[in-house]
Amino acid sequence: MTFRVATINLQQNLNRWEKRKELICEQLGELRPDLLALNEICVPLQTGRWLQRWARERLGLTYTLVQQTKANASSEDDAEGILTRFPVVETANLDYRARDAVAAVARVEIEGRQLDFYVTHLYGSRGEDPLRHYQVQQLLEWIGARNDVSNQVVCGDFNATTDKPSAMRMAGAFRPSQIQPTAFTALKEPGGQPSHPYWDRMDRCIDYVWVSRDLRVVDSGLCFDRPSADDADLWPSDHVGVWADLEFAAD
């Protein structure tokens, strides 16, 4: 069986969220993933629940939402999430105890097989990588402690290009489904600067679908990657997402 996974950073409720969310929904309808990882859910607006409801009402897609707020004061504003069309067996979360970052996992059942689907959002900085490397080490230790299933997917904004030690450490345990540039789009407020003005546009890969060795990548690419037809500065997010069609290696 082939199943589709994807990831997107919702970017809270910033940069014209009321207009951006329509683009997200439109492109979600084209993508129709079985598992969707969400970074930067806006907790006050419950944007994860909103997307879940919209998918059910407008697309006929029934998702279960698994959501984990960030730690400490960030819990009031920001969360990671998973939307899954597969039954959930269990959930768990990890507090990195660094910059309020967390990871979450949903163990899902797919035609009698179990898969752990992780979402995380690592620390963002303009150049320094040691804190992200520390977070990756914690993440991999946590995944290793949950080794009673061999099928694992880790999604999210890692804020690190493939040449950084943190991404290289991930690549020692998982395969990226793609390494195409994902950051940063030309998203901006009317008359304003684009998001993250100190970076070039779409010149690096920082968002990933990491796949365990027991899964086969059938196809992969970018998603949530088109601006509005009426406004070249309005994009679904400040980065584009990643999708992958996967199969169990034994199939």
pLDDT band at 19 (very low <50, low <70, confident <90, very high): very high
Q: How large is the average pLDDT for residues 238-242?
A: 97
Q: What is residue 92's three-state secondary structure?
A: strand
Q: How large is the average pLDDT for residues 231-250?
A: 96
pLDDT band at 91 (very low <50, low <70, confident <90, very high): very high
pLDDT band at 4 (very low <50, low <70, confident <90, very high): very high
**pLDDT tens-digit map of 210-219:** 999 999 999 9
pLDDT at 137: 98
- The answer, yes or no, to whether residue 124 has pLDDT greater than 90, is no
- Annotation: CATH topology of 2-248: Deoxyribonuclease I; Chain A (3.60.10)
- The answer, yes or no, to whether residue 126 has pLDDT greater than 80, is no
Sketch the domain layout of the chain as residue ranges. 2-248
pLDDT at 125: 73
pLDDT at 251: 60
